[in-house]
Amino acid sequence: IAGITQAPTSQILAAGRRMTLRCTQDMRHNAMYWYRQDLGLGLRLIHYSNTAGTTGKGEVPDGYSVSRANTDDFPLTLASAVPSQTSVYFCASSDSIGREAFFGQGTRLTVV
């Protein structure tokens, strides 16, 4: 089934630990995004990538890093997790920046 796959589905993480959230798409989309969704704050863009090999910062990039080594994969890394990074994380992709986006099912991360 075509779409976006995120892993893990949920995770409890000790503060200070390093964590990588995985995202893979099979639609050959050029653009990919990472959002976090928090109650009362809505969806906020963390990082994005227009095409393989390029990345950019979104609204809330601090504490997160991304890489885009190929078209399909866009991992999000938390170098040293803090409780304020507790959230639901969504990966998305689109044919290009500005086109409709397709979202994964989300990763629920709890940092304790």
**Interface ranges with another protein (CB under 8 A):** 4, 33, 35, 40-45, 58-59, 90, 92, 97-106
83: three-class secondary structure by DSSP: helix
Q: How far apart are CA 110 and CA 71, in angstroms?
A: 29
CB within 8 Å of 89: residues ≥ 6 apart: 6, 21, 34, 35, 36, 37, 46, 76, 106, 107, 108, 109
Rounded to a whole number of angstroms, the distance between the first and last alpha carbons of the chain is 35
Question: Smallest gap, in angstroms, from Cβ of residue 43 to another protein?
Answer: 4
